[in-house]
């Protein structure tokens, strides 16, 4: 890996020549002048020299469009524009859109439609849409997709962005509104944290770095497996101007990180060996210019390549090299679920289906790469960082530095997408250590290739499965065997290997089940948490085999799913009785008319011969909400102060999915006040209680219940003060609370109540730990308190000559228990579907080959078709106002539905995803060649 060259920030350290010029232009109508080298990126000049950090940098390579600005009215990627090209010209950024603090029409439409989730792409989208609407005030949907085609979004699935632009261009855009007291749950409330994402004011991990911060750059292994020898760094590195320190493993008090306390297998910095391409070796700390300019090749680091293990299959062979010498057979973990005698039951089945399915490494590709900065404050260290899990970060950072957790404070920045990838620590330990050792603030911002090289991936899986049913199509047995490549380190591998066998049957009632899951270490990138924790891979297998069974019986594919759908009262493969809220059947029933219409349309489309064939597929899912068979608590607190201000101390990090809004909606209704009366402190570990990780679709269900209880507790405290009945109303009126209890009106003067040192007079606290039980040796128990269910229909066109697949339409029906905010529920489902399209058709991470967003393709605005979301509300009695979760479910059935549609169109059963054109073409040729 060599250092970047298109920068310099005032000088070229390699030749020591200053090449800075004063370059004048206008930004948002105001004249500015930047003294910098002519080749400085315009994006860097805007962000670093002018402080306009609304313009985001997602790749620095012209691939993501996050940095889009208007140059003389035309959109450009500002990361690819040399500053000199802006001389004398007009630049417009997101900061110029709002006027006098008021959002413009387009921004308001984005807010109303939920078109900004994490918000990292939003400035680029808004700017691109601005150009479009100037040129074409009434654009068609196709024109919108064209005009915004250069900007990638990883969260939304684009549909709400298109709708927002069309709405902004319409005659009478709908107004924004706030629901009244008691009506927040179920309302399409705009994101409470949405405005800063639309104005460019939001602060992500790289946006608030102090001017005097040192920078840290990690030098990473270019080899999959090697012995590494580090020479004297004193002479070659620290003599370099601007370099302050070079950290090695010897500088790290406790040099291991990992998710599980008994599996801290990942060195912070290499200890003599590297195990994957991207393994951290040393960390350079100095001025930004110095750490960027230092070439890796100029450091005295020698690698002696060792034999590498690729793929779980190879890792499990008897003589495979060991990735970790203390892990025999490279086996990380193995587990399973056994219920009845599946082999015997399978033998007795009328129809059987079997198959072997493969998936590959998939990259999260959030638009905001890992970023943050740390500072030492006395005997504490504080981190402002993009994360999904502040308390785990705090504890892990403290452990690495040899401190106690109370000595570390995590202040989450806005998070520009996570999807599981920001559940592992990235910049945290080393930035904190460098700040601790130097006493200066230290920032670390990953470049896109570094983010892709170093961040955990979706586990590649090889799944062999057999399903059997009786003559009526009732499932009798499932035998399922999944092998996962967990890469060089454990990360969340045990979680995936444990969750998958539980979900191996799919959302169906099956009396006899044998499901195994295991994970092997390899010299691939660490595989960790990624939206679904292995369930999307499992769904590809069980849904393909459900189609096989239907074919074997001559039964309709939707019908066989409906027949076997888990319902309330049914028993799962782990022996858990589903007490309530098992809504797959209503999802399928809602889809049924669309299914038959789509099949008829496809039949008509395929009457004509030709290379283009239309297909319709269906996929179903279930997903256990929260941790598997583990305690999974969340705690929330809401306070009322003397001035009548409500503050929700909310430890749940919002990574774009909307928990900041959802939890306020729940808490407001539980308390009985309008949601806009509640201010929040989110995620700061000094101020909030542990709400657990933002993962496993758990925040609405788990933290939502805690927020509901906190709101109810404060309500009870207020009603006690007024001696009022439970159904009394509460109204905040400045320094007093008015309680109306029938005819009685009581005014509580808050100034007369005893206050703590911060003026808090009353408070409510709530906790919730979903009731689960551990799984026994046969995987029997109740691993989750509740499950989400869903089903999707995909309509695709397959070009049988090119091997390309074009999604035409997706219908998605999901049982979410209760939709706290339907707009956000739709947004999660649509975003999940976009990632499911990527999983099915496009995305394959290959170390050394697809480490950027040019070679690694994620769905663009043109790749996501029309989506119809049908929300099914089969209320969960344990959930807040009946809600469950929807973060992951939207993704799970998409790939199976698309693969089913490909098969319907062509007869080819795809067994390896992504179904890239060359794979599909080969399968089509093979099918043609069959006798």
- Interacting residue ranges for ligand FES, rule: CB under 6 A: 57-60, 62-67, 77, 79, 116-122, 153-156, 367, 417, 656
CB of 773 to ligand FES, least distance (A): 37
Q: Which of 736, 350, 813, 376 is nearest to 554 (CA)?
A: 350
Residue 139: CB minimum distance to ligand FES, A? 20
Q: Which is nearer to ligand FES, 443 or 793 (CB)?
A: 443
To ligand FES, the closest distance from the beta carbon of 155 in angstroms equals 3
Instruction: Tell me the Ramachandran region of residue 186: left when phi exceeds 0, alpha when psi lies from -120 to 50, beta otherwise.
Output: left
Distance CA(611)–CA(614), nearest Å, equals 10
Helix axes 105-113, 122-135, angle to 10 degrees: 130
Task: Classify burial at 137, counting beta carbons within 10 Å of its beta carbon; exposed 0-12, middle 13-18, buried 19 or more.
Answer: exposed
Nearer to ligand FES, 879 or 890 (CB): 890
In the complex, least distance from residue 367 CB atom to ligand FES, rounded to whole angstroms = 4
Q: Select 264 or 422, whichever has its Cβ closest to ligand FES.
A: 422
CB 68 within 8 A of CB 127: yes
Complete edge-to-edge strand list for the sheet that includes strand 612-624:
612-624, 787-799, 804-815, 866-872
Least separation in angstroms between residue 599's CB and ligand FES is 34
Q: Which is nearer to ligand FES, 858 or 883 (CB)?
A: 858
Comparing CB distances to ligand FES, the nearer of 60 and 906 is: 60
Nearest distance, CB of residue 62 and ligand FES, angstroms: 5
Contact present, 626 and 782 (Cβ < 8 Å): no
Residue whose CB is less far from ligand FES, 1 or 80:
80
Residue 37 CA to residue 41 CA, distance in Å, equals 9
Beta carbon of residue 919, minimum distance to ligand FES (angstroms, whole number): 28
Minimum distance of ligand FES from residue 138's CB (angstroms): 25
Can you name the residues that pair with 374 across neighbouring β-strands? 383, 442
3-state secondary structure of 398: helix
Minimal distance, residue 65 CB to ligand FES, in Å: 5
What is the distance between the alpha carbons of residues 778 and 781, in angstroms, rounded to a whole number? 9
Nearest CB to ligand FES, comparing residues 37 and 656 = 656
Residues 161 and 153 sit within 8 Å (Cβ to Cβ): yes
Choose between 132 and 349: whose C-beta lies nearer to ligand FES: 132
Pick 121 or 578: Cβ nearer ligand FES: 121
* CB closer to ligand FES, 259 vs 655: 655
- With tokens 């232009």, the residue in question is 25
Cβ 740 to ligand FES shortest distance, Å = 42
Nearer to ligand FES, 144 or 270 (CB): 144
In angstroms, give the least distance from the CB of 104 to ligand FES: 19
In the bound complex, what is the minimum distance in angstroms from residue 675's beta carbon to ligand FES? 22
Classify each residue of 498-537 as buried b or exposed e, where b means 16 or more C-beta atoms within 10 Å of its C-beta: bbbbbbbbbbbbbbbbbbbbbbbbbbbbbbbbbbbbbbbb
Nearer to ligand FES, 181 or 657 (CB): 657
| Token pair in block for residue 313 | 């299959």
Find the shortest distance in angstroms from Cβ 128 to ligand FES: 12
One-character DSSP codes across 564-616: HB--TT-B-TTS-B--S---HHHHHHHHHHHHHHHHHHHHHHTSS-SSEEEEE
CB closer to ligand FES out of 144 and 923: 144
- Residues in contact with 852: Cβ distance below 8 Å, sequence separation at least 6, in sequence order: 59, 61, 63, 448, 449, 452
CB 264, min distance to ligand FES, A: 31
Question: Closer to ligand FES at the Cβ: 152 or 667?
Answer: 152
User: For residue 433, which of 234, 249, 236, 241 has the smallest C-alpha distance?
Assistant: 249
| Strand extents, DSSP E, 306-391 | 331-339, 351-358, 371-377, 380-385
Give how far Cα 396 sits from Cα of 268, 375, 378, 407, 424, Å: 11, 17, 20, 12, 10
Smallest CA-to-CA distance from 874 within 587, 590, 607 is with 587
- For residues 883 and 868, what is the distance between their CA atoms, to the nearest angstrom? 21
Beta bridge partners of 784: none
Rg for the chain, CA atoms, rounded: 28
Query: Quick one: which of 498, 468, 885, 818 has its CA closest to 659?
Result: 885
Q: Considering the complex, what minimum distance in angstroms separates the CB of residue 861 from ligand FES?
A: 11
Q: Which residues pair with 102 in a beta bridge?
A: 99
State which residue, 75 or 523, has the beta carbon closest to ligand FES: 75
Residue 119 or 526 with smaller CB distance to ligand FES: 119
- Cα–Cα distances (Å) from 566 to 290, 543, 701, in that order, read 60, 15, 20
Q: How far apart are CB 894 and ligand FES at their closest, in Å?
A: 18
- Rounded Cα distance between 48 and 883, Å, is 43
CB of 188 to ligand FES, least distance (A): 18
Residue 783 main-chain phi, psi, to 5 deg: -75, -20
Q: Which of 191, 127, 117 is nearest to 160 (CA)?
A: 117
Secondary structure of residue 310 in the 3-state scheme: coil
What is the number of residues in the chain?
A: 931
Least separation in angstroms between CB 419 and ligand FES: 10
Task: Kindly tell me which of 79 and 337 has the beta carbon lying closer to ligand FES.
Answer: 79
Nearer to ligand FES, 55 or 647 (CB): 55
Instruction: Output 193-196 pairs: Cβ under 8 A, ≥24 positions apart.
Output: 193/414, 193/654, 193/660, 193/661, 193/682, 194/110, 194/111, 194/116, 194/119, 195/103, 195/111, 196/119, 196/414
DSSP 51-87: --TTS--S-SSSSS-TTEEEETTEEEEGGGSBGGGGT
CA–CA dist 189, 824 (Å, integer):
9
């Amino acid at each position: 890996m060599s250092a970047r060259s298109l920068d310099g920030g005032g000088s070229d350290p390699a030749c020591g020549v200053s090449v800075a010029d004063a370059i004048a232009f206008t930004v948002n109508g105001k004249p500015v002048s930047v003294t910098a080298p002519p080749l400085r990126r315009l994006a860097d000049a805007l962000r670093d020299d002018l402080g306009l950090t609304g313009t985001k940098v997602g790749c620095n390579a012209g691939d993501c469009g996050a940095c889009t600005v208007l140059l003389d009215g035309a959109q450009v990627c500002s990361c690819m524009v040399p500053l000199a090209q802006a001389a004398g010209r007009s630049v417009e950024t997101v900061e110029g859109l709002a006027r006098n603090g008021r959002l413009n029409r387009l921004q308001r439409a984005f807010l109303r439609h939920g078109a900004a989730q994490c918000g990292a792409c939003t400035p680029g989208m808004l700017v691109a849409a601005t150009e479009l609407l100037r040129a074409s005030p009434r654009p068609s949907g196709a024109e919108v997709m064209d005009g915004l085609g250069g900007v990638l979004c990883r969260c939304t699935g684009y549909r709400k962005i298109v709708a927002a632009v069309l709405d902004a261009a319409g005659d009478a855009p709908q107004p924004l509104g706030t629901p009244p007291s008691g009506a927040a749950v179920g309302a399409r409330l705009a994101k409470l944290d949405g405005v800063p994402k639309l104005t460019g004011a939001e602060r992500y991990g790289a946006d608030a770095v102090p001017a005097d911060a040192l920078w840290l750059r990690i030098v990473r292994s270019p080899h999959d497996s090697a012995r590494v020898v580090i020479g004297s760094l004193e002479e070659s590195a620290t003599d370099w101007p601007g370099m302050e320190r070079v950290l090695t493993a010897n500088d790290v008090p406790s040099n291991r990180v990992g998710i599980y306390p008994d599996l801290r297998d990942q060195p912070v910095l290499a200890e003599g060996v590297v195990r994957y391409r991207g393994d951290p070796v040393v960390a350079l700390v100095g001025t930004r210019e110095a750490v960027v300019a230092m070439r890796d090749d100029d450091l005295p680091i020698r690698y002696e390549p060792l034999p590498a293990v690729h793929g779980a299959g190879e890792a499990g062979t008897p003589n495979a090299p060991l990735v970790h010498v203390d892990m025999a057979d490279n086996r990380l973990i193995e587990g399973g679920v056994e219920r009845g005698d599946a082999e015997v039951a399978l033998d007795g089945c009328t129809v059987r289906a079997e198959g072997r399915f493969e998936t590959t490494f998939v990259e999260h590709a959030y638009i905001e790469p890992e970023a943050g900065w740390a500072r030492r404050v006395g005997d504490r260290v504080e981190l402002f960082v993009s994360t999904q899990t502040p308390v785990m970060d705090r504890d892990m950072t403290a452990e690495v530095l040899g401190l106690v957790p109370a000595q570390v404070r995590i202040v989450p920045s806005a998070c520009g997408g996570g999807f599981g990838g920001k559940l592992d620590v990235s910049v945290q330990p080393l930035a904190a250590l460098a700040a601790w050792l130097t006493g200066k603030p230290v920032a670390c911002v990953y470049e896109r290739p570094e983010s892709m090289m170093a961040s955990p991936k979706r586990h590649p899986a090889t799944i062999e499965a057999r399903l059997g049913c009786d003559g009526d199509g009732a499932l009798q047995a499932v035998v399922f065997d999944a092998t996962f490549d967990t890469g060089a380190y454990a990360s969340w591998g045990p979680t995936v290997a444990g969750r998958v066998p539980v979900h191996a049957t799919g959302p169906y009632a099956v009396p006899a089940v044998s499901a195994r899951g295991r994970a092997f270490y390899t010299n691939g990138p660490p595989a960790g948490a990624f939206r679904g924790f292995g369930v999307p891979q499992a769904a590809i297998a069980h849904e393909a085999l459900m189609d096989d069974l239907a074919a074997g019986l001559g039964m309709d594919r939707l019908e066989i799913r409906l027949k076997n759908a888990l319902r309330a009262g049914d028993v799962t493969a782990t022996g858990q009785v589903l007490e309530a809220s098992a809504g797959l059947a209503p999802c399928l029933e809602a889809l049924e008319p669309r299914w038959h219409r789509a099949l008829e349309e496809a039949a008509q489309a395929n009457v004509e011969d030709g290379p283009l064939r239309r297909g319709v597929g269906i996929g179903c899912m279930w997903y256990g909400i929260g941790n598997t068979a583990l305690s999974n608590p969340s705690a929330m607190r809401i306070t009322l102060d003397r001035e009548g201000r409500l503050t929700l101390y909310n430890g749940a990090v919002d990574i774009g999915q909307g928990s900041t809004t959802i939890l306020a909606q729940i808490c407001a209704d539980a308390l009985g006040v309008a949601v806009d009366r509640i201010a929040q402190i989110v995620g700061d570990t000094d101020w909030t209680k542990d709400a657990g990780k933002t993962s496993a679709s758990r925040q609405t269900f788990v933290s939502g219940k805690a927020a509901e209880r906190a709101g109810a507790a404060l309500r009870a405290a207020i009603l006690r003060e007024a001696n009022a009945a439970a159904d009394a109303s509460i109204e905040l009126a400045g320094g007093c609370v008015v309680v109306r209890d029938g005819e009685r009106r009581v005014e509580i003067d808050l100034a007369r109540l005893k206050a703590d040192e911060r003026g808090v007079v009353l408070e409510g606290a709530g906790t919730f730990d979903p009731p689960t039980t551990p799984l026994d040796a046969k995987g029997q128990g109740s691993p989750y308190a509740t499950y989400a269910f869903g089903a999707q229909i995909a309509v695709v066109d397959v070009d049988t000559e090119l091997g390309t697949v074009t999604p035409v339409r997706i219908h998605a029906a999901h049982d979410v228990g209760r939709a706290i905010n339907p707009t956000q529920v739709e947004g999660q489902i649509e975003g999940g579907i976009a990632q499911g399209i990527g999983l099915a058709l496009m995305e394959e991470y290959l170390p050394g080959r697809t480490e950027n967003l040019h070679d690694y393709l994620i769905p663009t605005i043109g790749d996501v078709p029309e989506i119809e979301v049908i929300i099914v509300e089969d209320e969960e009695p344990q959930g807040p106002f009946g809600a469950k979760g929807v973060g992951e479910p939207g993704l799970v059935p998409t790939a199976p539905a698309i693969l089913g549609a490909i098969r319907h169109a062509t007869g080819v059963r795809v067994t390896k995803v992504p179904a890239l054109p060359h794979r599909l073409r080969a399968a089509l040729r093979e099918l043609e060649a069959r006798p």
